[in-house]
Amino acid sequence: MPSPTFLNEFLLSRQMSIIQFSISSKQKKLTLSFDNNLQLNFDFEYLRVFSPAAVKPKQSNTTPEVFHKKNIQLIGIEPLGKYGHRLVFDDKHSAIYSEEIFVNLYENHEINWQKYCDNLTSSQNRESSINFVEVK
């Protein structure tokens, strides 16, 4: 796999296009396939925590204040033409992700995730705040 910086420059310079989304609800992963056979993988939790709607441009140096998303599910993807794709999560949150945003999230995954985990507390953590049990 190419280095993230090279990947970002390569993808953005070629105006790469996403040709397929693969959702694995069991593994809680989204795979993006590009038109040059490149694939990027993301955990649902990472995409939800670092949603463009949760991380404002002027707050790019701050850690998102989104917690309890370890069990989040991605329930829909809506194409929005040149703007990107709207990802819809089971907590009713949705946000628009452009190809550039996906590439930047991939490129900065390690730094973003480590900073996020370092700022978790006992009350602001990854675990679900309410556990649902199916009653039969």
Q: What is the CATH number of the domain that holds 52?
A: 3.30.2020.30
Q: Please say whether the dihedral angle defined by the alpha carbons of residues 66, 71, 76 and 82, taken in this order, is positive or negative.
A: positive
CA 18 – CA 82 distance, rounded (Å):
12
Tally of domains in the chain:
1
Residue 10 has pLDDT above 60, yes or no: no
Residue 32 has pLDDT above 90, yes or no: yes
Q: What is the pLDDT of residue 40?
A: 95
Name, in order, each residue with C-beta under 8 angstroms of 53's C-beta and a sequence gap of 6 or more.
93, 94, 95
User: Domain residues for 49?
Assistant: 4-60+69-118
In what side-by-side order are the strands of the sheet with 18-24? 18-24, 29-34, 39-43
How many residues would you count in the chain?
Answer: 136
Please tell me the pTM assigned to this model. Answer: 0.79
- Structure confidence at residue 132 as a pLDDT band (50, 70, 90): low
Residue 130 lies inside a defined structural domain of this protein: no
Q: What is the pLDDT of residues 52-111, one digit of tens each?
A: 986 655 555 566 788 889 999 999 999 998 889 999 999 999 999 999 999 999 999 999
